[in-house]
Amino acid sequence: MAIERTFSMIKPDATRRNLTGAIVAKLEAAGLRVIAQKRIWLSLKQAQQFYAVHAARPFYGELCEFMSSAPVVVQVLEGENAILKNREVMGATNPANADAGTIRKEFALSIGENSVHGSDGPDTAKDEIKFFFSDLEIVG
Ligand code: DAT
Ligand code: MG
């Protein structure tokens, strides 16, 4: 195993319900270290750009509206196997299928309003970190 970095985002449904700290606590308890973090409000255009890979999906419009509807917290997480570990702590996309103890099982409202985003592989992690952070903002 190797020390990796991944990108994480706490979504509008969670910031609205004041769950930022509870979610960070779960990430930290799993051994992930927050080495960069900021609270921002995505424009619709930024949300569309961030989720461009899903542009052809029927839920794309709704997804981008939601992602720009309230603040988000963007993060860089570091740790052993961080990409996979974060996906495990997040739980399945649909909270109905998420394992007990995962962030989505505990906090997500629906498949769309599912509280967190996490990179799905090394290439997307690199691209997504770069989308939001400069090297100076990441303090490992
Ligand atoms: P994940 O966020 O687990 O990586 P994804 O990349 O397949 O899932 O989809 C990105 C987001 O799009 C997901 O977090 C919520 C939304 N989404 C996915 N499938 C959806 C669906 N069937 N209906 C509504 N929103 C959906
Ligand atoms: Mg995804």
Q: What is the ipTM of this complex?
A: 0.99
Tokens in use for 8?
């994480």
C-alpha dihedral, 52 to 14 to 108 to 11, nearest 10°: 10
Binding residues for ATP: 11, 59, 87, 93, 104, 114
Is the CB of residue 93 below 6 angstroms from any atom belonging to ligand 1?
Answer: yes
Average pLDDT over residues 63-84: 98
**Sequence-ordered alpha helix ranges (H) in 74-121:** 82-90, 103-107
β-pair partners for 72: 40
Over the stretch 29-40, which tens digit does the pLDDT of each residue have? 999 999 999 999
Nearest residue by C-alpha to atom 11 in ligand 1: 112
Q: Is 54 a catalytic residue?
A: no
Over the stretch 75-104, which tens digit does the pLDDT of each residue have? 999 999 999 999 999 999 999 999 999 999
pLDDT at 1 over 90: no
Average pLDDT over residues 13-23: 99
Q: How far is the CA of 57 from the centre of ligand 1 (A)?
A: 10
C-alpha dihedral, 39 to 139 to 7 to 31, nearest 10°: -110
Element (H, E) at 79: strand 72-80
Tokens 């739980």: give the residue: 91
